[in-house]
Chain A
Amino acid sequence: MSNGNGKDPMNREATETASGSRTLFDKIWQAHTVESTATDADAGGTASTLSLLGIDLHLVHEVTSPQAFAELDRRGLRVRRPDRTLATMDHSTPTRPEVDRARLRIIDAEAEAQLARLERHCAEHDVPLIPLGDPRQGIVHVMGPELGLTQPGMTIVCGDSHTSTHGAFGALAFGIGTSEVGHVLATQCLLQRRPKTLEVAIRGGLPTGVTAKDLILATIAQIGVAGGTGSVIEYTGQAIRDLDMEGRMSVCNMSIEAGARAGLISPDEKTFQYLEGRPYAPRDAAWPEAVATWRALATDPGAAFDRRVEVDARDLEPMITWGTHPGMALPITATVPRREELSPDQLGAAEKAWAYMDLEPGQKLIGQSVDVVFIGSCTNARLSDLEAAARVLEGKHVAAGLTMLVVPGSQQVKREAEARGLDTIFRAAGAEWREAGCSMCLGMNGDRLAPGQLAVSTTNRNFEGRQGPGSRTMLASPLTAAATAVAGRISDPREVL
């Protein structure tokens, strides 16, 4: 290995090892390691190696990229591999059909400036951009898979923590900060500490009315919001195999909510079927060749993980959060935890959550009245999510006084939903049907809750004020959200299915 001039802060050493059974993670990591150091320690003092990792695909959005492009410009650098980079707009984009760019300039000049800035950077650096108004535009983590950009065995990064979503395809996909966005733009590689591997083994299958979202909420409640810190999770077991690709994406999406760097699922026939024929998927002779390579990526039988936890799917119920982080989730039939049900180290956070959420310890979750239902986000705004919600809403009406917003994850999802008449069902039920984007998931584009309002959302974060200052969020599946919208109160979807 060549050594740079002067002192080498990376302390590189040849440490190639490859033998025996390997996990999917091991295979991807090894294949993308340009070089790595001798084992030293990460920032928390855990033994690890530092690797220079090649990046196959870099997704870019308007919020976390301007400072990175500016840094390249300041140094006179070019985007090194525009052919491995793709940008889109999703976070600060309007979802009201009547708001075009000219209108946006008037109602939200800062957001318009951010979009214009991305357009300029992409044009100057030859980076392909899927702009607002393009029929392929959508939330970056919905768009990538549906275009077939996300493929097994890849390394995928984006300046966005929910990049973990793409792990559903057996790609090592993780969120990075803006400095690292600049590193990838300029070099197409990253320095990364090798994470630990954590197997989350799901026992049994999911009962009726219990979805991928409920499974991941239950997993986070079990292992904790820091349970995956420093690790890449691979989800295994029958329930995972049984999920369709969209459900697998919902699971991997929320890996970051358990603190994990990434979530992974070994690719299988469902993965290949999903990808076949998509715009960026290999074609013709390249297709069988790609599938053969992808098939070999799955974790080998007997491969060792650093840690393993089991989650039992068999008696899971629909889940809903009651507090202010995604780990504060409970079966929908449960009651808000009482003081005596909590350990001393949970108590401080619970006190704050009871007060913020304005919920009483011991209070039943079912029946709690709700102001807004939001169906959207990179967790649950794909076609199957909208279909699930529509199934509950069909022929019914949203409760008086409750507002319901349905925001498809991408323009493609929107078109497919409309082709199936789902928009008609939502509209007839009194819900609003919007253009694609992040919308009320983070409330950056003006779609947000009023202070004090309580929402049941299909999103991924129930942090204080996430959906607007003073907003209160309860996370749930599209089925639970739709059942709640009809009743105006938190409702068990199993009763209306």
Chain B
Amino acid sequence: MTTPRFTRIESSMLPLLREDIDTDQIIPASYLKTTERTGLGQGLFARWREDPAFVLHQPAYQGAGVLLAGRNFGCGSSREHAVWALADHGFRAVISTAFADIFQSNAGKNGLLTITVAPDIHGRLAEAVDADPAARVGIDLETTTLTLPDGDTTNFPVDPFVRTCLLEGVDPLGYLLQRLPDIEAWEQDHPARLDTRQPHDGSFGEPTS
């Protein structure tokens, strides 16, 4: 996996304004038997896609790189497959008024930007895409600016660590590996009380009954 990067995009939006869209909807469990992180776009919103009228099928929204979603997007399971599915389908960013914690954390590690906006901005975006499915937004991570279809701009919050990683291609695991001396020192001071390989009753490896 190469370190994902993100600087600036301009794109139309796909509106999916339901609230509390959970990860079981984003990618149902039947797609979790894969041992790969690619190809999950096929399972994106799989159950809703069975409906031919579902917004993802509508020609007007083809090619949209930004998902405009309702509040509390990505709640439920920790499955990173949800982010992989969205990214595999071609989404680069999700805009909502609030995200679930684990989803947001997973997104940042895969170059999928989660943009939290105030309800009034969200409302304006929803109106714009309703009036014209081709309405485009601009997202600039360098300046953390969101440009609305009418040209107005607003700043969005972003985790500074995630921003640096995405802009400069810093690899979070590589960063952690650099910190190993500090981690080792901490571990010296905080010895573990247990060893998972050696239960105190000596039962590991030999069935207890």
Contact = CB atoms under 8 A, between A and B. Distances in A.
Given A10-B175, A177-B106, A261 B101 contact: yes
A209 interface: no
Please provide the 7 A-B residue pairs with the shortest distance between their CB atoms, ordered closest to farther.
A45-B157, A177-B106, A9-B164, A66-B35, A279-B199, A177-B80, A175-B78
Contacts of B197: 82-83, 126, 128
A7 B168 contact: yes
Interface of A: 1-2, 4-5, 7, 9-11, 31-32, 34-35, 37, 40-45, 50, 52, 54, 56-57, 63-64, 66-67, 70-71, 74-75, 77, 82-86, 91-92, 108, 110-111, 113-114, 117, 126, 128, 134-136, 147-149, 151, 159-161, 175-180, 182-183, 186-191, 193, 195, 225-226, 229-230, 259, 261, 279-283, 286, 290, 325, 348-349, 352, 415, 442-444, 461, 463-466, 469-470
Interface in B83-129: 83, 98-102, 104-106, 108-110, 114, 116
A199 to B, nearest CB: 19
B39 interface: no
Interface stretch (B20-28, B133-141, B145-153): B20-28
A92 B183 contact: no
Contact of A415 (B24, B157, B182, B209): B209
B5 interface: no
Nearest to B162: A43
Interface of B: 1, 18-20, 22, 24-25, 28-30, 32-37, 47, 71-72, 75-81, 83, 98-102, 104-106, 108-110, 114, 116, 157-162, 164-165, 168, 170, 172-173, 175-183, 186-187, 190, 192-201, 203-204, 207-209
Contact of B176 (A67, A191, A281): A191
Given A34-B186, A444-B30, A469-B47, 5 more contacts: A52-B182, A83-B192, A91-B32, A229-B98, A415-B209
Contacts of A57: 194, 196
Contacts of A113: 33, 35
Contacts of A114: 33, 35
B75 A226 contact: yes
Contacts of B198: 83
Contacts of B28: 465, 469
Nearest to B179: A52
A465 B47 contact: yes
B207 A134 contact: yes
A280 B104 contact: no
Contact of A85 (B25, B29, B116, B196): B196
9 contacts: A7-B168, A54-B183, A71-B1, A83-B195, A83-B196, A161-B77, A161-B78, A161-B102, A191-B172
A11 B163 CA distance: 12
B168 A9 contact: yes
Contact of B193 (A42, A175, A282): A282
A188 B183 contact: yes
Contacts of B182: 1-2, 34-35, 52
A84 B195 CA distance: 6
A463 B109 contact: no
Contacts of B190: 31-32, 54
A283 B192 contact: no
A250 to B, nearest CB: 18
A63 B195 CA distance: 24
A225 B21 CA distance: 11
A231 B9 CA distance: 32
Contact of B173 (A41, A45, A183, A352): A183
Given A84-B192, A149-B194, A282 B200 contact: yes
Contacts of A91: 32
A187 B183 contact: yes
B172 A226 contact: no
A9 B192 contact: no
Contacts of B81: 178
Given A44-B98, A54-B190, A135 B29 contact: no
Given A178-B80, A226-B75, A279-B203, A188 B175 contact: no
Given A63-B32, A279-B200, A444-B30, A225 B75 contact: yes
Of B24, B79, B105, most A-chain CB atoms within 10 Å = B105
Contacts of A282: 193-194, 200
Contacts of A151: 193-194
Contacts of A189: 176, 179, 183
B71 to A, nearest CB: 7
Contact of B109 (A41, A64, A179, A466): A179
A140 B3 CA distance: 31
A34 B175 CA distance: 14
B22 to A, nearest CB: 5
Contacts of B102: 161, 175-177
B71 A226 contact: yes
Contact of A41 (B34, B77, B159): B159
Contacts of B83: 177
Contacts of B203: 136, 279
Contacts of A183: 172-173, 176
B142 to A, nearest CB: 15
Contacts of A182: 173
A54 B119 CA distance: 37
Of B30, B33, B157, B208, most A-chain CB atoms within 10 Å = B33
Nearest to B35: A66
Contacts of B35: 66-67, 70, 113-114, 117
Of B77, B114, B172, B209, most A-chain CB atoms within 10 Å = B77
A479 B173 CA distance: 46
A64 B136 CA distance: 35
B55 to A, nearest CB: 14
B106 A179 contact: yes
A421 to B, nearest CB: 18
